[in-house]
Structures are given as structure tokens and as C-alpha cells.
């Protein structure tokens, strides 16, 4: 199946394409589209749904949209919904991933409770009135310094005790198995498989007893 991903973030594209490897995932730019969406929702779902609806109206095609973020307990859930643009208002510009990680580390410098979690909400839409939503998390804590070269965003400072590594130290395929985005995408993968089976059955090219 051909599905358009509502982002121009190449890192998200690579992760989602790895998991949904039986499907052709396209970016808006692959279709010559200029796509943008202002993330002003009050929840991850608000943002993911808004992204999906905007792109679906532009294309009329099946769309996947993702909104995700890091929540740090000691920072009252920040950066949360503002993870992608954290610190930008104060700086007067968008911070790089490295700068955002450093900002979190500075804010956590004298804090011992370092519990945190990632959230990912994914919306798969085939029409404005037919869509699926999946939201998942992964628990961890804020490391005392960035470690690892893999991943993106806050991965270098997000430490998972069970694996004794930051997410940026994990191999990509292993990250996909345990990450917030990986968990949500695997649920979507099951829905897409069922969609394919139902389509084949409706066309009379799939045995009913399957």
C-alpha cells in the first residue's frame, strides 16, 4: 500500500519506513507538495489528527501522522507537546537537537528525580471520518550527559535502566522494538495487514477460511 507520511522529518520517515516495510511510505515532497502544520493542539492526538486531516485534504490518499514528545516528571511534564520547539521562544530561533538536550540537562543539573517518558501518538487516516489512533509510551530517565550516536531528538539523554543504555546507543532495529513510536507503529502494522486481507477478500482473491 502507498501511504503518505505527514512530515518532512527524515528521521521519523526512516523509523516508520523500517517498521512498515511492506508498504511504500512517501513524504509530501515526493509528490511535489509543500506541507506544513502549526502544532497548536492541547494533546498529542490533536496535533496528529490535525496533521493527518490537513494532508489528507490535500491528497485524498491514506495518510499517517505522528506527534511525539518527551515528558520529564521533575519539570512538570516539560517539554511535552513543545518538545520539537523547546527553548525556541527564549532563544528567538529553533534550537538544534543538541541544544535542546543541553537545555534539559542544565534544567536538571540539581535534580535527583530524573524519571521521564516518551509519548507517541499516530493517526492513520483513509477519510476524515475513518481513522485509527494509537498512542504509546516508553519509560526511562534523563541521563547526566548525552551518550550515543544513533537516533535523534532527545535520544542521547534518555536512559533506559533495563538495557543500561540511552536510546541513542541502541541499534535502530532494536530501538524500533521498544520505543514509543515502534510500539505504536506495530499496532498500525496489524491494522494495515487486516485492511489488505479485507480488500483481497472483497475482490474474491483471498480464501474466506484464512
* For the chain, domain boundaries: 2-202
Q: Comparing C-alpha atoms, which of 145, 143, 156, 151 is closest to residue 182? A: 151
Give the CATH number of domain 2-202.
3.90.950.10
With left for phi above 0 and alpha for psi between -120 and 50, is residue 49 left, alpha or beta? Answer: alpha
Q: Cell 534544567 sits at which residue?
A: 107
46 is catalytic: no
Catalytic residue among 66, 67, 155, 176: 67
> pLDDT tens digits for the chain (210 residues)?
899 999 988 999 999 999 999 999 999 999 999 999 999 999 999 999 999 999 999 999 999 999 999 999 999 999 999 999 999 999 999 999 999 999 999 999 999 999 999 999 999 999 999 999 999 999 999 999 999 999 899 999 999 999 999 999 999 999 999 999 999 999 999 999 887 655 544 555 544 443
User: How far, in Å, CA of 76 to CA of 115, rounded?
Assistant: 11
What residues form DSSP beta bridges with 145? none
Amino acid at each position: 500500500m502507498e501511504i503518505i507520511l505527514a512530515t518532512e522529518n527524515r528521521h521519523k520517515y526512516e523509523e516508520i519506513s523500517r517498521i512498515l516495510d511492506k508498504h511504500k511510505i512517501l513524504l509530501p515532497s515526493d509528490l511535489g507538495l509543500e506541507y506544513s502544520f502549526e502544532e497548536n493542539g492541547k494533546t498529542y492526538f490533536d496535533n496528529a489528527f490535525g496533521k493527518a486531516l490537513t494532508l489528507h485534504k490535500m491528497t485524498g490518499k491514506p495518510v499517517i501522522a505522528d506527534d511525539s514528545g518527551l515528558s520529564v516528571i521533575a519539570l512538570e511534564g516539560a517539554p511535552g507537546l513543545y518538545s520539537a520547539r523547546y527553548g525556541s521562544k527564549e532563544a528567538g530561533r529553533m534550537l538544534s537537537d543538541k541544544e535542546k538536550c543541553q537545555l534539559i540537562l542544565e534544567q536538571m543539573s540539581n535534580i535527583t528525580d530524573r524519571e521521564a517518558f516518551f509519548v507517541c501518538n499516530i493517526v492513520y487516516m483513509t477519510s476524515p471520518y475513518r481513522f485509527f489512533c494509537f498512542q504509546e509510551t516508553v519509560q526511562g530517565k534523563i541521563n547526566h550527559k548525552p551518550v550515543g550516536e544513533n537516533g535523534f531528538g532527545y535520544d542521547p539523554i534518555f536512559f533506559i535502566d533495563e538495557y543500561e543504555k540511552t536510546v541513542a546507543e541502541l541499534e535502530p532495529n532494536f530501538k524500533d522494538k521498544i520505543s514509543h513510536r515502534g510500539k505504536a507503529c506495530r499496532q498500525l502494522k496489524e491494522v494495515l495487514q487486516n485492511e489488505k486481507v479485507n480488500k483481497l477478500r472483497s475482490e474474491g482473491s483471498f480464501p474466506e477460511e484464512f
